[in-house]
């Protein structure tokens, strides 16, 4: 196959900072499964990103395996996609350094994720500032065309594109300039306890999110407690009714019904009925994922898949890294 006939390359990753929640699933991971049918897909568990904030080593290892199992449980197929752990491929950290030397502190300080994660910290870890450069390395290392992510990563994708273009313009054409891919619905799921904030794995309040592995009681509690408003009508209005709009969004994506259909279905009904039905839809949507997860999580097959994935990812990554080193004159050059 010639270069312009090759399948488009897809790369994305999830941090093993906790269990994947429905925001991660609806915003990013749903796309992973869809794309593997006609793309060349590489999906990573980005553990080096996770240590930009302190992690307990035992928990981190366990979360790496949880996230990998969840990839498989939602339908990522290791025969079609490469699945691997970021720190198993050393080229990520190495390319990240080279890209650091092609980045500006000004653009990194402007990243909204850095601003929000370093807020109220007397001194922010440098890793938080460099996070988007490592993410650019992850993407550029695989000559990625398409990056399926949630809306919150738009600014980081833009930066990866800027860095790639900058290197291509100042050196010879070295990198493929990637495009972000965002869902129309579900691209930004908000926290259940505060619908002005995005749903997040590491938020303190466990009822702010629904994790894919939550049991039925937890799902029920989190949805029934979720913040709405005192207006009492079920309609989509993000500005004035962010809580109800967020629940409508989740309900719509999980059930396959449009928001308009849901609004007319619940016309004249109260939040209680609406939330109870959303609990049922959520439980039935997540049940098959949990079942598959339990089958895989402690299997030898999981480790084999990750080892095989690391080997295949590494073979691609070392080639790109050598190409970049040649462009910069690093080392003794390709043999
Ligand atoms: N709330 C969200 N709605 C839609 N998509 C989301 N994503 C994250 N939160 C939402 C997307 O999920 C993918 C994996 O995210 P990540 O683990 O790499 O990091 P994150 O964006 O920082 O996610 P979290 O859950 O908020 O983790 P913590 O709490 O550790 O920072 C990405 O594609 C992301 O866009």
Q: Is 201 a catalytic residue?
A: yes
Give distance in angstroms: CA of 2 to centre of ligand 1. 35
Cα separation, 49 vs 127, in Å, equals: 8
Give distance in angstroms: CA of 213 to centre of ligand 1. 16
Determine the pLDDT at residue 3.
Answer: 53
- Residue closest by Cα to atom 23 of ligand 1: 200
Q: Is 154 a catalytic residue?
A: no
pLDDT tens for 1-16 read 555 578 999 999 999 9
pLDDT tens for 95-130 read 999 999 999 999 999 999 999 888 888 889 999 999
Interior angle at CA 189, CA 187 and CA 190, nearest 5? 145
Cα separation, 290 vs 284, in Å, equals: 10
Among residues 8, 58, 80, 117, the one annotated as catalytic is 117
Joined together, the tokens standing for residue 306 give: 């990750």
Task: Check: CB of residue 82 under 8 Å from CB of residue 42.
Answer: yes
pLDDT tens for 280-307 read 999 999 999 999 999 999 999 999 999 9
Joined together, the tokens standing for residue 215 give: 């049991």
Quick check: pTM over 0.85? yes
Mutate to test the pocket of ligand 1, among 14, 24, 118, 194 (most ligand atoms within 8 A of CB): 24
Residues with CB under 6 A from ligand 1: 14-15, 17, 23-24, 27-28, 149-150, 152-153, 187-189, 198-202
Cα separation, 289 vs 305, in Å, equals: 18
Determine the pLDDT at residue 2.
Answer: 52
pLDDT tens for 165-178 read 999 999 889 999 99
Give distance in angstroms: CA of 123 to centre of ligand 1. 24
């Amino acid at each position: 196959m010639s270069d312009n006939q090759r399948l488009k390359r897809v790369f994305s990753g999830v941090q093993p900072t906790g269990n994947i929640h429905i925001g991660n699933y609806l915003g990013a991971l749903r796309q992973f499964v869809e794309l593997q049918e006609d793309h060349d897909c590489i999906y990573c568990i980005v553990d080096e990103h996770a240590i930009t904030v302190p992690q307990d080593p035992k928990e981190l290892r366990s979360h790496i395996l949880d996230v990998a199992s969840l990839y498989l449980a939602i339908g990522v197929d290791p025969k079609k996609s490469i699945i691997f752990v970021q720190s198993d491929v050393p080229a990520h950290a190495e390319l990240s350094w080279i890209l650091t030397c092609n980045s500006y502190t000004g653009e990194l300080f402007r990243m909204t994720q850095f601003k929000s994660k370093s807020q109220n910290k007397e001194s922010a870890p440098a890793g938080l500032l460099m996070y988007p450069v490592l993410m650019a390395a992850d993407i550029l290392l695989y000559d990625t065309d398409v990056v399926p992510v949630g809306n919150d990563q738009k600014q980081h994708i833009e930066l990866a594109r800027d860095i790639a273009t900058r290197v291509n313009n100042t050196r010879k054409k070295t990198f493929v300039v990637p495009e972000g891919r965002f869902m129309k619905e579900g691209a930004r799921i908000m926290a259940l306890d505060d619908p002005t904030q995005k749903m997040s794995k590491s938020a303190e309040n466990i009822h702010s999110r629904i994790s894919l592995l939550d049991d039925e009681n937890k799902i029920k509690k989190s949805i029934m407690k979720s913040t709405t408003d005192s207006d009492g009508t079920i309609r989509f209005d993000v500005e004035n009714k962010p809580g109800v709009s967020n629940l409508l969004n989740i309900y719509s994506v999980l059930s396959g019904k449009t928001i308009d259909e849901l609004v007319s279905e619940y016309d004249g009904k109260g939040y209680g009925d609406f939330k109870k039905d959303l609990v049922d839809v959520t439980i039935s949507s997540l049940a098959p994922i949990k079942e598959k997860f339990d089958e895989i999580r402690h299997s030898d097959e999981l480790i084999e898949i990750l080892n095989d994935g690391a080997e295949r990812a590494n073979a691609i990554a070392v080639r790109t890294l050598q190409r970049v080193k040649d462009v910069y004159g690093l080392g003794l050059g390709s043999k």
